[in-house]
Structure formats: structure tokens, C-alpha cells
Chains A and B, each alone.
Chain A
Amino acid sequence: MSVVLESVLEIHPQVAVRPETFGALAYHYGNRRLIFLKHPDVVTVVQSLNSYPDVQSTLSACGVAPERWPSFIAALSSLETSEVVRERQIAS
């Protein structure tokens, strides 16, 4: 499944995000993948996913200009493949 503006996502619970000067380091304890988030904006977006109804509202709320949305969608798709983000699970 690839990410679209209507996707409802969350950071995977087994992922830790550690801030760095140029962005952040994301480490998935389960699959041991290590990913650098290379821009502060993508860090903010990833950490805000849970607080907004969908990707589009997250991007807006984080002040990401619409012309940059395609590259953020591509980045989120890649993060989904690595399981750093996933479809938001409804708590039962």
C-alpha cells in the first residue's frame, strides 16, 4: 500500500526517534532498520502524524507548502515500506 494524502498513519510503536542537529535518527527495534530523517520538517511531520486526521491535515498543520507535498508523500511511502510508519491502528 502506498501513502496518499488521505492516509491515516502513525509512527510504529517499536520505533524510537532521536533528534540530531540536521534532523533525526529513527530506529525500529523490531526489524532493526535505521533511517535518517534528513530534514527537520520531515521529523515534525512524522512526529505529528498521530495528532491529525490524515496525512494532508498533518502536512498543512506542520506548515509544509503544497508544492512540497509530493516529496513528503514519497518519503512517507518509503517510511511505510520500512515500517517506521504504518496505518493507524484503532485501539480496541
Chain B
Amino acid sequence: MESPIATADTSVIEESSVAQVIGDLVADTPAIEAELLIEEISIDGMCGVY
């Protein structure tokens, strides 16, 4: 059975995890936008060809 302290700890951990994810998103934003600008596809990667 979880103690109140364990529960509070869990919420602190969750908050910092969320902050970490947001931090990662901000840092990755240029990379995400770069993905939007180009996409590589294999010349063999389309169905309907020998």
C-alpha cells in the first residue's frame, strides 16, 4: 500500500519527467522541422514494380 510520502514522491518524479520531455521537445524542434523538410524513400520502396 502506498504511503502519502511515496505518492508525493511519485508526483514529483512525474513532474520532472514531464519537464524533461518538454525540454527534449524544445531541443529537438529543429530536428523535427528538418524531418518535415526532406524525406528519403527507397527507389525500391514502392509497391507495383518488379
Contact = CB atoms under 8 A, between A and B. Distances in A.
B7 interface: no
B40 A71 contact: no
Interface residues of B, number: 12
A79 B38 contact: yes
Contacts of A39: 36-37
A35 interface: yes
A34 B30 contact: no
Interface string A31-50: 01111111100100000000
A82 B37 CA distance: 14
B39 A38 contact: yes
A23 B30 CA distance: 19
B38 A71 contact: no
B40 A75 contact: no
A84 B23 CA distance: 32
Contacts of B43: 27, 32-34
Interface in B26-47: 30-31, 33-34, 36-43
Nearest to A28: B43
B33 A78 contact: no
Interface of A: 27, 32-39, 42, 68, 70-75, 78-79, 82
